[in-house]
Structure 1
Amino acid sequence: MKSQFLPLAYWGSYRGSSIREDALNVIVTIEGKEAIPVRAIPLLTDWEILSPDVCARIFSGDDTLQYFKGMSAHRLSPDGGHQVMEQREWANWIARKLRACSERIEAAQASHESGYQQWRQESLALLPAGAFVWREAFEAAHKREYGPNCKRARFNRDTFNPTACELNYDPQHGPCENWRELVMEGFERLIPAPSKATTPAPAVTENASSAPMDGITTAQVAAIFDGLHYTAENWPKRLSDTKWLQPALLELGAAGGATSLWCPAKLAQLIHVRRQGTEKQKTLEALNKKFKNNSVLKPWSTDWNEHYEMFNDAN
Structure 2
Amino acid sequence: MQIVKLKHPHTQMEFPETATALGFFDGVHRGHQEVILTAKKKANEMQLKSAVMTFFPHPKEVLRKTDKDDVYYLSTIKEKEKQISELGIDYLFIIEFDTAFSELSPQEFVDQYLIGLNINHVVAGFDYSYGRLGKGSMETLPFHSREKISQTTVDKITYEGEKISSTEIRHALLQGDIDKATTYLGRKYVIYGEVVHGEKRGRTIGFPTANIAYHEKVVIPTTGVYAVWLRVDKNWHRGVCNIGYKPTFHDPSNEIPTIEVHLFDFDGNLYDKEVSCSFVARIRGEKKFASVDDLIAQISKDKETARSLFEQDS
TM-score, normalised to structure 1, is: 0.28
| Higher helix content, 1 or 2 | 1
| Higher strand content, 1 or 2 | 2
